[in-house]
Structure 1
């Protein structure tokens, strides 16, 4: 904030973007606030009326949503303040612009990890130290199993906020972007970010609401969810063998929190390592960012050793191996995403070459490349899951193996402070370039901001790949945490202290293993309920994408009509004799996003509850498994597609295959426009869908445990 915003024109443009961004956020928080009030009332009825929910859950749910929303607000405020300052710094040199943009992006990364840890630590201290004094006996003699399942519920607040932020932000940004590109660049033939384009301010606002507020809320819930699920699994793994060993349970509970805390410090150190030299190539710029990210990741691997040693965990070295597996998986997925989306590498250059035969072949080649790009991330997650599950002893102790998977997710996300900074940096650099263009600065300034923007496209794709990979590991840990919530619901809501396990007889519910749960609920592929759940989960991923992409199409259609209207009715705009009505385009995108985000978001919340009530626990597990497997691969493909098409266009703009304004360039603009909702709306929203369905299942587990059998029997599916 101490840096200059530049000329009067630069400040005016930045102020217009700030006002549009804050107007959007205010409107979104009003809609989300209504949804939160309704959900909170439902949780209060479940807790105090139906006795199908712990009475603390409604309040934990609210804090998760509040802190997630607060992170989005602070990140957005910083990003919109940084864009003109980045442009001004780019007048001095490339390194100055990079440092301003990246450190502004780091604010988003650091508030996410800071508030998530504050929320987790705050609830733990209240429930473990304060509650037993105020409400003696409320949490029983060993409160830790109950505390961990209660704390998991605030993850649903974060997930709900994240989905609205991601879907709404994604629809907004792509409606504005598509409208600006189709009418401005393709029809009117004016440059990108030309001040004559009425949608240009809305486009700049959209970059921030999608990739700053949306991505921040997304990774907030991944970060919190991985820590909470791992803590719950650690407590459950020890409790299954020795329910009274609170000291050991506390050690497994605190390990992910401490590792995440150390990650914050290492992220700050990594942020200060990011710098570059004038005239740097794309690969050198990416190397500057990777230096900070890789340095932080290596620091986590090293610092985890004394943490696990001091905690004196019985299987400390195996747990450390799981953490390293998670870290390695995050780095590999990031690198693979870079290779398939950066124009420094052959896949994206191959897409650019196809422009010589038109937009159809650009799209065909792009789809083929990104389908191919899913293979290594999937194999990476497979290896990470196998290592982190079997290394801590998953072959003989399923819960401990799943704890390993959870702590691998924590390891991957431990450096989120800097990883998220690389993603939030992207829209700041993009806005900086727009400011340079609209302010008609020296072409050298735009050239530097274009370098930073091209890097931002790659880091955004890398960040999305990282977010999707972490979502896969987190969702797998939440799948197991769901069964712990079911155990809690059976004991405390359904009064089932013993379960009749087929072939074994009556077993105390508190001692039932995951294998015995599978047997009790008949979770096998021969059970139609599981298969039905699998199909519904798989279909949800595609149907959700269809809803969000159609929403972008409708909102973009309204934007296209408005831009055309202004060009038609106000010919002075193209002659630079009158100013476009930017505010009207901002209002159209805001209204369209708010209207269109409601249906996809509500479906993600409602479907797991209906599946649970009709098909019981077996159906829910099928739903979550189908959504995870299909959603993960589809999300990787869609996120990479948009990044590859965008950078193929930028490769041609750099002077290859005809340069700006050529037929080849126009062909890649079509590919870029198709890819916009892929990478900024549907793809990123999928990983929230995966986790939100898991979180909804977790929070409604008590209701399913108590009433799932009743409704199933009424429908003849007992």
Structure 2
């Protein structure tokens, strides 16, 4: 069995240590997350009214997720049967069974479970954050919200790591023993290639299942949250002139539910997919690149991304204890200490891991590649901060443009969104090229004239994979910051709806403003890591499909057509996602207007008069589930159709087109949308009821934000899931497309 490779007596101790480190990190991560949940639950929820509001938000989120997950499973289970018939059945018939369908189901379920755990924790943390601010102060509220976000990071990464290592060991164990003659007859060069390719083919199914579930979870959640947000903002703030999260607004509960199902549950599933897909892509690349090297080094290379991610968990847990500050400190200053300390600790840990797993002179070169990824993630975070923070020129200019109306606000916001793609792309390009060149020259410098001809190129590709691992080493802390944002947003909403003292709302507003910054930063990080991961997926696809790099030249018509279709897929998908929010928000706007018009005393805020919150929750639930089916299905169907019609050459072109266009589009949508949002918040601080022009400028900024909302929370985050989903589908079906008779 392939498991015998792991039991090789010459290197069993080495393998066992690294496997145990990975399992310990995964289990420890989940265990520490449950400790934080227990800690959060001990805090009181506050007044009866606060508990009532929190219960309504929690109930709405649970109802939506049950319905959404049921819909995803109804699509996913038949798809797993198709995978079994199309791919697994052939192996079972010839006596070499594979379990791609099982890996797909496990990936899908784990991705959805990550989203549910994240949502459960967020709905525990939101009201307790409000109460901590009310009873103790801003610092304690920040720590509670951050702990809630930390649970999401620890559970998502820990569950991903556990799923990958368990599936890897399982597939190693069940891969059958074959003779060299059987391996060659099955189309493999030798026994080692047979064993590795069987493990590779099955484990890719895990990434496919995670990507599939994440796309629908992120897309559906994004449609829900922004339909509610746009409806509540336009009717409440602009038409009725009431504050954000005012309890008279029928859409406010749906809006707060949306923060949990979109920004928390959707992001949890999305980030599980990111962690899983990037680990597996690197493992697949290791299998192909290190196929000809001795077994110990091949297995160590396959385990490297998992061990590196394990030490990243340890680094984040240590970094968490640096999230401390004073009551008067800026919230971002407190949170950024945790991020920067985690980055520094992870750099030290990555040096240790590289030294242990790549001993000898090559260690220094590969560690430099990891550092490039780490440095790139910090730079992209700072660039995103510049374009989305209220203290810098872009947001100030958009805010200033609001003084002359909605049109100039939108023009300014779109222009800065387009501009914001430049610097991140330059950083991504330098990261890819720098890590490739260091990896390329490493064996030449170490081995000199004795270097095999293919090795520098393969080592260069491995260098880019290491840069991706470096960028993802801080993943837990980044996810904690991502989860912090929606929790503080909910906390502010609960403070407003519960009619708490103005000083409490002022503090929750400070936490919320910082949350917008952290959400924008983490989305920039997610896109950058998706870009590097897409490069790895593309290289892995070429290896599995048996294509040379020259075979995917633009000189070939199949490739050119594939590139055009890939770019088109991104634009059409973004169009459908934005339109879905527009369609769903129209229903929401009509309902909120109807309630203001038909419920006596609602607009005036008469005591005892309440809107029908459940009606708006029901509208958002039904419309988001209806609207997510078409764009989500498109992402699954298009790569398969292109592969069947144009073969792997056309599919390679589709991958290139989707990746290049998708990264640019996602950067534009995410950063531009966040800039619109913070320009609105900046205008809010300038409102003065004695100066009508400030009210008009604020209303213009609100209208701009209603465009920015679906950009940054629906279309933008879904696009980087789309990029990786197309990559995992291509990896999964490449073997089939390579043998289609009409493409021979």
Q: Distance in 2 between matches of 1:353 and 1:25?
A: 40
Residues 478/386 of structure 1: CA separation in 2 closer, same or farther (3 Å cut): same
Q: Are 1:20 and 2:60 counterparts?
A: yes
Residues 237/96 of structure 1: CA separation in 2 closer, same or farther (3 Å cut): same
Q: CA deviation at 1:347?
A: 1.4
- Residue 117 of structure 2 is matched in structure 1 by 74
Q: Are 1:646 and 2:705 counterparts?
A: no
- Residue 510 of structure 1 is matched in structure 2 by none
3-state DSSP of counterpart to 1:153? helix
Q: Distance in 2 between matches of 1:93 and 1:258?
A: 39
Q: Are 1:254 and 2:303 counterparts?
A: yes
| More displaced 10-residue stretch of structure 1: 100-109 or 229-238 | 229-238
Alignment of 1:655-666 (within 5 A): 655=686, 662-666=695-699
Segments of structure 2 that go 5 or more residues without pairing to the other structure are 1-40, 442-453
- Residue 234 of structure 1 is matched in structure 2 by 286
2:562–2:650 contact (8 Å) kept in structure 1: yes
Q: Distance in 2 between matches of 1:433 and 1:285?
A: 15
- Residue 385 of structure 1 is matched in structure 2 by 432
Q: CA deviation at 1:290?
A: 1.7
Q: Are 1:700 and 2:740 counterparts?
A: no
Q: Are 1:209 and 2:261 counterparts?
A: yes
Q: CA deviation at 1:130?
A: 5.0
- Residue 556 of structure 2 is matched in structure 1 by 527
1:375 pairs with one of 411, 422, 429: 422
Q: Distance in 2 between matches of 1:367 and 1:404?
A: 36
2:542–2:549 contact (8 Å) kept in structure 1: no
1:620 pairs with one of 645, 651, 661: 651
- Residue 607 of structure 1 is matched in structure 2 by 638
3-state DSSP of counterpart to 2:191? coil
| More displaced 10-residue stretch of structure 1: 300-309 or 571-580 | 571-580
- Residue 497 of structure 1 is matched in structure 2 by none
- Residue 232 of structure 2 is matched in structure 1 by 180
- Residue 363 of structure 1 is matched in structure 2 by 410
Q: Are 1:107 and 2:151 counterparts?
A: yes
- Residue 742 of structure 2 is matched in structure 1 by 711
1:227–1:406 contact (8 Å) kept in structure 2: no
Give the TM-score taking structure 2 as reference length.
0.88
- Residue 302 of structure 1 is matched in structure 2 by 348
Q: Are 1:141 and 2:170 counterparts?
A: no
3-state DSSP of counterpart to 1:198? coil
2:100 pairs with one of 46, 54, 57: 57
Alignment of 1:265-414 (within 5 A): 265-280=314-329, 284-313=330-359, 315-393=362-440, 397-414=456-473
Q: CA deviation at 1:49?
A: 4.3
- Residue 44 of structure 2 is matched in structure 1 by 4
Q: CA deviation at 1:151?
A: 1.3
Q: CA deviation at 1:134?
A: 12
2:560–2:653 contact (8 Å) kept in structure 1: yes
Residues 560/471 of structure 1: CA separation in 2 closer, same or farther (3 Å cut): same
2:417–2:673 contact (8 Å) kept in structure 1: no
- Residue 581 of structure 1 is matched in structure 2 by 612
- Residue 678 of structure 1 is matched in structure 2 by 711
- Residue 168 of structure 1 is matched in structure 2 by 220
Q: 1:637-666: CA deviations, max 9, x gaps?
A: 110111111111111222378699711111
Alignment of 1:533-612 (within 5 A): 533-575=562-604, 576=606, 577-612=608-643
Q: Distance in 2 between matches of 1:48 and 1:268?
A: 40
How many residue pairs get aligned? The number is 675
Q: CA deviation at 1:700?
A: 1.1
1:94–1:276 contact (8 Å) kept in structure 2: no
| More displaced 10-residue stretch of structure 1: 286-295 or 636-645 | 286-295
Residues 412/101 of structure 1: CA separation in 2 closer, same or farther (3 Å cut): same
3-state DSSP of counterpart to 2:739? helix
Residues 569/234 of structure 1: CA separation in 2 closer, same or farther (3 Å cut): same
Q: CA deviation at 1:224?
A: 1.4
CA RMSD of aligned residues (A): 2.1
Q: Are 1:225 and 2:253 counterparts?
A: no
Q: Are 1:128 and 2:172 counterparts?
A: yes
Q: CA deviation at 1:133?
A: 7.8
3-state DSSP of counterpart to 2:603? coil
1:234–1:400 contact (8 Å) kept in structure 2: no
Q: Distance in 2 between matches of 1:567 and 1:442?
A: 26
- Residue 137 of structure 2 is matched in structure 1 by 93
2:175–2:198 contact (8 Å) kept in structure 1: no
Segments of structure 1 that go 5 or more residues without pairing to the other structure are 488-513, 713-717
Q: Distance in 2 between matches of 1:40 and 1:232?
A: 21
2:436–2:464 contact (8 Å) kept in structure 1: yes
1:422–1:459 contact (8 Å) kept in structure 2: yes
1:54–1:150 contact (8 Å) kept in structure 2: no
2:179–2:191 contact (8 Å) kept in structure 1: no
| More displaced 10-residue stretch of structure 1: 44-53 or 671-680 | 44-53
Q: Are 1:636 and 2:676 counterparts?
A: no
3-state DSSP of counterpart to 2:439? coil
Q: Distance in 1 between matches of 2:632 and 2:563?
A: 20
Q: Distance in 2 between matches of 1:48 and 1:60?
A: 11
Q: CA deviation at 1:373?
A: 1.1
Residues 360/259 of structure 1: CA separation in 2 closer, same or farther (3 Å cut): same
1:425–1:456 contact (8 Å) kept in structure 2: yes
Residues 188/627 of structure 1: CA separation in 2 closer, same or farther (3 Å cut): same
Residues 467/660 of structure 1: CA separation in 2 closer, same or farther (3 Å cut): farther
Q: Distance in 1 between matches of 2:694 and 2:138?
A: 26
- Residue 417 of structure 1 is matched in structure 2 by 476
Q: CA deviation at 1:546?
A: 0.3
Q: Distance in 1 between matches of 2:70 and 2:680?
A: 38
Q: 1:328-350: CA deviations, max 9, x gaps?
A: 11111111111100102121111
- Residue 83 of structure 1 is matched in structure 2 by 126
Q: Distance in 2 between matches of 1:47 and 1:135?
A: 23
3-state DSSP of counterpart to 1:6? coil
Q: Distance in 1 between matches of 2:331 and 2:99?
A: 48
2:142–2:331 contact (8 Å) kept in structure 1: no
| More displaced 10-residue stretch of structure 1: 342-351 or 686-695 | 342-351
| More displaced 10-residue stretch of structure 1: 223-232 or 618-627 | 223-232
Q: Distance in 2 between matches of 1:380 and 1:27?
A: 41
Q: CA deviation at 1:235?
A: 2.4
Q: 1:379-404: CA deviations, max 9, x gaps?
A: 00000000111211179633322222
Residues 90/156 of structure 1: CA separation in 2 closer, same or farther (3 Å cut): same
Q: Distance in 1 between matches of 2:83 and 2:466?
A: 29
Q: Distance in 1 between matches of 2:259 and 2:65?
A: 13
Q: 1:494-527: CA deviations, max 9, x gaps?
A: xxxxxxxxxxxxxxxxxxxx6xx245xx321111
Q: 1:122-157: CA deviations, max 9, x gaps?
A: 011112245458999899732234323421221010
Residues 340/659 of structure 1: CA separation in 2 closer, same or farther (3 Å cut): farther
1:201–1:582 contact (8 Å) kept in structure 2: yes
